Chain A
């Protein structure tokens, strides 16, 4: 499994855009990049996944450069409720047997008023 490196914490203010960059230098050809969000005392929640270029949904955007050795999760106009831990993971998308997601320490995002 490719290892990921992301900042331990980030502070922001309401209404700002938050960008979290994740490094995955050893990403394999078949690996996808997945981001989860975890609020305090809750389980993580899948928010976005991508393979290359840009992916956007109602929650976030994911930017992946051509070499795929890093990715950036972008949260537009954050609110206090976006305070959470964000995890970056890489792994293959389709597998017959049980997959093993490896959650690192994540990035603790604190949104201030």
Chain B
């Protein structure tokens, strides 16, 4: 069966520090991968998606970036965090089947102080 991992689960970082969040998927190959951010009490905002190794599409211009160095690994990064980067970061994947069914990871709660 397929599983998706995210780490760390929680993170507290000072403003201006770098960020690296990792997401890995097991049990599937060539998945579409997604990074979302959710502010407290709000809906999900799509940040990046990837249809293959090295292929990244950005949905929102900001100080975040994403990379996909391996088929089942998706990394979200920042060189300098802002206070507004605080939120719940979710990684998701889907196969080439049902376009509307994405599977989400457990999330990383990031607090920027």
Query: Which residues of A come within 8 Å of B, CB atoms?
Result: 32, 34, 41-46, 49, 87, 89, 91-106
A89 CA to B98 CA in the complex, in Å? 14
**Binding stretch for chain A, among B14-22, B73-81, B86-94:** B86-94
Min CB distance B48 to A, Å, is 10
**Cβ A103 vs Cβ B99 within 8 A:** no
Lowest 10 A-B CB distances belong to which pairs? A43-B104, A103-B44, A34-B100, A103-B43, A98-B49, A98-B51, A46-B101, A99-B99, A43-B90, A105-B43
User: How many A-B contacts if CB must be within 8 Å?
Assistant: 66
- Give residues in B with beta carbon < 8 Å to A: 32, 34, 36, 42-46, 49-51, 57, 59, 88, 90, 92, 94, 96, 98-107, 109
Which of A89, A95, A97, A101 has its CB near the most chain B CB atoms (within 10 A)? A101
- Which residue of chain A has its CB nearest to the CB of B100? A34
The answer on a CB contact under 8 Å between A42 and B107 is: yes
A-B contacts, 9 of them at CB < 8 A, read A41-B107, A43-B105, A44-B104, A49-B100, A94-B98, A97-B51, A100-B59, A103-B45, A104-B43
Which residues of A have CB within 8 Å of B92?
43
